[in-house]
Chain A
Amino acid sequence: MDLSMRWLADYVDCKCDVKKFCDEMTLSGSKVECAAKEGDYLSNVVVGHVVDIVPHPNSDHMFICQIDVGEGEPVQIVTGAQNVKKGDYVPAAKHKSTVLHEGKQVKITKGKLRGEASNGMLCSLEELGLTLHDFPYAIEDGIFILGDDCEKVPGMDIREAIGFNDDIVEFEITSNRPDCLSVTGLAREAAATFNVPVNIKEPTFKGIDGDINEIMKVEIHNPALCSRYMGGYVKNVKIGPSPRWMRERLRASGVRPINNFVDITNYVMLEYGQPMHAFDLRYVDGAEINIRNAKAGEKITTLDGVERELSEEMLVIADKNKPIAVAGVMGGEFSGIMEDTTAVVFESAMFDGASVRTTAKKLGMRTDASARYEKGLDPENCYYSLMRAFELVEELGCGEVVRTYIDCDKSDKVRKGVEFDPDWINGFLGTDIPAAQQEEYLTRLGFEIKDNKAYAPYYRIDIECGSDLAEEVARLYGYNNIPNTIVRGVANAKLTRKQKFDRTVTAAMLGMGINEITTFSFISPKYFDKIRLPEDSKLRNTVVISNPLGEDTSVMRTSIIPSVMEVLARNYSYRNADCYAFELGSEYIPVEGSVLPEEPERLGVGIYDTAGKIDFYTIKGIVEELLDKCGASGVEYSRPDENTVFGEVSAFHPGRVAVASIEGREIAIFGELHPETLENYGIGCRAYAAKVNIPELMELCAEQKTYTPLPKFPATTRDLSLICDDELPAAVIEKTIRKAAGATLESVTLFDIYKGEQIAQGKKSISYALSLRSHDGTLNDEQADKIMQKVIKALSEAGAELRG
């Protein structure tokens, strides 16, 4: 809401400058966004009186003017405009002045034009930042010749002379205070804030005789959506521009002046907050006005020239045959005010906010009127607004108002009081404001206190309960005067197991040198193709956003892998030498028969390093270390089979991907990314990824770690070099060793793997170091040998022979 300070001054005198006004209003609840002075880009532009004008000797279209700028001697200014005459008063930009040129501030200095000195420039409206709407008598391509509504004083600052010097304060009005979307509403707030009187008089008009009921008929067919409809009639209308004071106030409020009747409706809306509508009675068939729901298939061409199809839940203003306005949103084109209009009907009505909101939204046309209605207005205001419109018609002398008017009032007139309990308010706010002081605040805001009840003024539709009163008291007392105290009582806060587990995971990943990332939860469905998901993959069944910003963010991710891939790809395209990234985030999995999807937490990891220091075993090592840190035991690694829970398996290199399982449940997938995946993302080096199912992992991990006593006896170490088929997985060999060696085996470590010379084709040599240790005593050679024989025998059965 843009407030003209000049307009405000009609109602209240805050006795302070604009800065102070803004600060205080903000602190009492009307937030000021910014304050600006009109025409602040103009400087050193004054009223000039053209005392002489002669054609330029060296030009067939320029003139040399002698301009009186109030400095004794006139100054010479050359102009190319054709509309300047001797005796005119014009805006004169003097030497070292600023004006607007094509919307930008430019500097004007003296110079020579075809050999003749020119000490400035005569200005058009555009150069002042104005339009023909502001001064309808000016011409488009020419100097602005000041009319009789301007002060013709040579040397006077042009802004003052033409009334382009208002202060405009922009407010952010919250949705509970539609009454503040008006000059009078803000005047009341200002008066309460500064504790000064507000001077809002009830509008009056003289009118002429006539029976409105003989002129027009009004019927409300749906009182639930229209609680009051007032209509008035003005005849012998003279359509023309409105006076300067009205135009400049509209302009300051950001509304374009059109003609006197349209301007009056806008003026009343800005002043009283009540949307008004004016239409030409000639185009109202049967002179009857029906407030009814639209019929299926009905259409209307609105004022903006667009034909719109209406639906049955929309409320319209209709004549005998057709809709002439969409209630509370916009009028129809054909019944609008025109040059030749002679009789005008003013509408001042109360429509249901939710209905207006739905209609405006559905038609895609939010207007100043609909924005006000949808927040909720008060039916009482219809009356004052109509009276004000009548008063303005008479003030402007642009028509004759018929004294009687129509008032279909179905509104509820009962005023509901709210219990006023000063002690409760103090207890709620934590303050100690005397009851009399509280009462004074409320009275200042227009409340009436009677029998321990507070009655809000009609325009305050937001007051419903005790806490509403507390806010009124608090904001005039000053929020910043309320003390700061600490919540009493003891509370015992602790992290949940999940929260602790998340912190463990994050710490482990950071400790391994991997950076944490934050990605969007929504992705493009195309990303599923990029990670090579089969057409029938269950991961393609997503939570779909019905109104996305674009395809890229249109479905909730069912896998964290595409998000990680995007980050790898972006870093690669930025030519970053390496990228080590992880995210702990959710996936969103639709659940059949459930309103809401599941949101399981996942760890996504992606790495590449163009220095080439990493391979499959790097990502595996990260997963192993993480699982260990999380307290997992009995983790088994295997190639994923067709029943893997990880649909993303297709994203990986088929020979270099593994899943980790605990107690037979798959909890992680990791490996090298498929060359096609990398190509789809434009990544030109090998890259690796992992995904860990966090809740499943947590469930399988011991919550508490327990200490194992340190060994008392020395260990015996034995090395084993084996030959076996290349295909025999190391995990099988290791498992065999563990099983055969039993409890005495402390550790088994792979230390060499070799293929090539001296090893037959299709075979590999693989070497382990075994550490054997007993808790009962030092193992002797005989005992150790016995264990090793068992191990060798078992290995032989598994297909791995001792290397000769």
Chain B
Amino acid sequence: MRNRASTSLSKGKIRQSWSKYNLYNLQRFRTPATANRTFFQQKWTAKATSRAYHGEQVREGQWKRMFSKRIRSVIPMNTTDLAADDGSKESAGRGSGLSESGGRNRSRPIPYTQMAFAPLERRLDVAIFRSLFASSTRQARQFVIHGAVTVNGQKMRHPSYLLNPGDLFQVDPDRVMYATGAPKTAFERRETRQLKQKSDDAEGEEAEAKPEATEKDVKENARDSLRALMSQAKTIMSTDKDVLPAKRKQELRGFQKAVRRVLSRSDTSTVLTDSLEAQFSELTLLLKAKRTEKKPAKESKKEAKEETTATATKSEETASGALSEAFQAAAEGGAVDTSELTDEEFDILKRALTQMRDNPIDHSKPYATPWRPRDYMSAFAFIPRYLEVNQNICAAVYLRHPVARPGSAEVPTPFGESISTPAYGWYLKRRW
């Protein structure tokens, strides 16, 4: 199917998409004027605008067959009210209930016509977009066609599959990260190309690079690398806005190297080749062991450090400066082991390690790494209640069909009732 769903500025149509063009169109959208226009014209415009958003990938005839004039709605019941009487009070008097002073439970009207396009929300591609797994319905559709989506564990290649209540659909997490993540910069793309070229002879090099340190070097190395590790972790965690992404990335890479160096000295040689999980647990184990060892001997230094930490609460930068100073003093003194870490430092290191494990730099990925959400994603981020989503595994369950309730409708639509009502009327068999 040809993609006619451009988000052009001149037409100003709103689409199911997270593009910034769409955001701008959404922002400048005004309800079409009704003065001096026939009812037919009003309905036509309303139908055209709302169809550009709701299922523009669905042919008009197909949608007309799907349309149902029956709209699902629910009323939240209060059990206390139900228990209070058997309904005879409501039917007393002249049949509309004895007039109650104040009107305690005047419920808000149910916006029925906002649900005009509810049948489209059952479609698999729309549901994927609504669960925030794709940045547009078109992209969701592509994921389905390319075989990245399963329904109840079976691959489903039809974007028009209508989900049944209780259906579980899952999208390949890599695709989701790609769809929702920031795109690569030119620099990162170059890195990717280089990575590809290098991939042939990379293995041989790595085998050579394994450090074979003598017994004597080990202690020196340990001190240096741990110090480097610490300072790098700190810069990574610093919240400085002026640091350019390239610089930050260099730091991250350096940190990664330092971690590898520390790990290479550990007793088990398999850790390096193991998964990141194993590396992480090994490193934390190493650090924890050192920390518990050192705790009783810490007394002398503690007072000095406490002062620095007290000031540290005010501003992060002075803290890191003071900490690094303390580190250096410790390193020069020689008597004090460098592996002595304060709680704060340990926390920082741990967080940096977690970040390394969960969100690593990986140029083989099709999105910018470390992953971050794409621009303007937050303006479109909401999950309707008829879906239950687990973002960790990129899976969601279609719980039930969307419903309207007093004061709100569950079908996400950018249009108010002045558009949805004439659009609903357009699709009725006996048109208004």
User: Do A and B make up one complex?
Assistant: no
Contact surface of B with A, Cβ cutoff 8 Å: none
